[in-house]
Structures are given as C-alpha cells and as structure tokens.
C-alpha cells in the first residue's frame, strides 16, 4: 500500500513539475517557442494549434501559433518538417517559390497573389509575398490582405503571416521573426 501511495505521489509531483509552457515571453518582449525554435514579437500571447497533414504517403504535423486582435487582425507563424526526400528534390529558391504558389493556391477562393520577392532575415533567405482580396469577398465578411514571408531551414519550413486590415504592429511582427541558435 505504501508503495502504491509513493508511486501515485511521485506521479503527481512529476505531473505538477512538467513544463506546460508551449510559448513563453522573453525579456525583450517577444514570444518564443522552444519546440519551434523561433521567437517573434506577437502583439499578444499566441495560441498553438496542431494539425495533421499528409502529402502522398508522408504524414506530418503543422504547428500554428496565432495571436489575434479581433476577427480582421491575425498574426501567425506556422512551421512543419517536410519529409526528407521532398526537400532535397529542389534547390532552395525553387522550393520557396513553390511554397508561395502552394500557399496562394490554398487561399485562392478569396485571395490572389499580388507581389513576391526574395527577402533576407539575417542568414535566412526566403520569399516575401502579398495576397490581395479578389472581387466581392466582403459578401463572406472577409477584409484586408495577407502579408507574409516563407523560410526553409533544413527540412523545416516557416511561414510568417499577417491576415487583416492595416495595423501598425505588422512590420514589427514580421521583421522580428528570428531562429533560436
């Protein structure tokens, strides 16, 4: 009986000591993710959602960190680890260009690609893009645009986006994205 009580007590102590902080605020005011290995200045503490995804027979998870300031101001960082061979098949620039095309295609019911160009963030090379609303999307209650950047590090792909109406915090958020060393 004492052994069972000890095991239950040990389990409860271990459970209470578990670090459940998926996202934490740094001394600089940015929010960081240890598992995502990034930090950025979200305007509010982001929430994490994880979605299962599949390309062919390969399955992987998409980790999405989102901070919202109402329905028309969404700050987001998503990352996922592509299955190995898919990433090695194309040069980095071609892969990132295709990633923007895929993102645009996923949003094609309401948005269209307006602009894209190469971008650097420290040592990272990526693509900056802008998606504009198509004609008459207000019928569905959608407002604003999508601004974003996509980067690839090894087989991990990061997509940093803002979806919404103009907000003074957008540039700070997008430019603050950094990878933990």
- What is the tens place of the pLDDT at every residue in 47-91? 999 999 887 777 889 999 999 998 889 999 999 988 766 677 788
Mean pLDDT score across all residues of the chain:
84
Taking residues 144-155, report their average pLDDT.
93
pLDDT tens per residue, range 24-45 = 999 999 999 999 999 999 999 9
Half-sphere exposure of 8 (CA within 13 A, CB side): 5
Residue spans of the domains in the chain: they are 45-179
**Percent of the chain, pLDDT > 90?**
63
pLDDT at 16 over 70: no
- CATH of region 45-179: 3.40.1000
Q: Give the range among 81-95, 122-136, 153-167 with minimum mean pLDDT.
A: 81-95
DSSP result, 7-71:
HHHHHHHHHHHS---SSEE-TTS-EEETTTTEEE--SSPPEEEEEEEEETTEEEEEEEEEEESST
Which pLDDT score, from 0 to 100, does residue 57 have?
77
Q: Rounded to whole angstroms, how far apart are CA atoms 152 and 119?
A: 12
pLDDT at 15 over 50: no
């Amino acid at each position: 009986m004492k052994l069972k009580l000890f095991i239950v007590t040990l389990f409860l102590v271990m459970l209470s000591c578990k670090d459940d902080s998926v996202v934490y605020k740094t001394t600089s005011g940015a929010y960081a993710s240890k598992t995502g290995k990034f930090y950025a200045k979200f305007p509010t503490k982001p929430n994490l959602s994880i979605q299962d995804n599949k390309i062919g027979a390969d399955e992987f998870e998409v980790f999405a960190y989102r901070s919202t300031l109402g329905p028309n101001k969404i700050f987001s960082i998503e990352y996922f680890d592509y299955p190995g061979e898919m990433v090695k098949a194309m040069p980095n620039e071609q892969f990132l260009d295709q990633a923007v095309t895929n993102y645009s295609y996923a949003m094609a019911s309401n948005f269209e690609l307006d602009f894209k160009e190469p971008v650097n963030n420290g040592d990272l090379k990526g693509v900056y893009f802008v998606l504009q609303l198509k004609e008459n999307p207000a019928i569905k209650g959608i407002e604003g645009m999508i601004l974003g950047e996509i980067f690839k590090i090894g087989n991990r792909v990061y997509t940093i986006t803002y979806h919404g109406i103009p907000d003074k915090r957008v540039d700070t958020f997008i430019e603050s994205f950094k990878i933990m060393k």
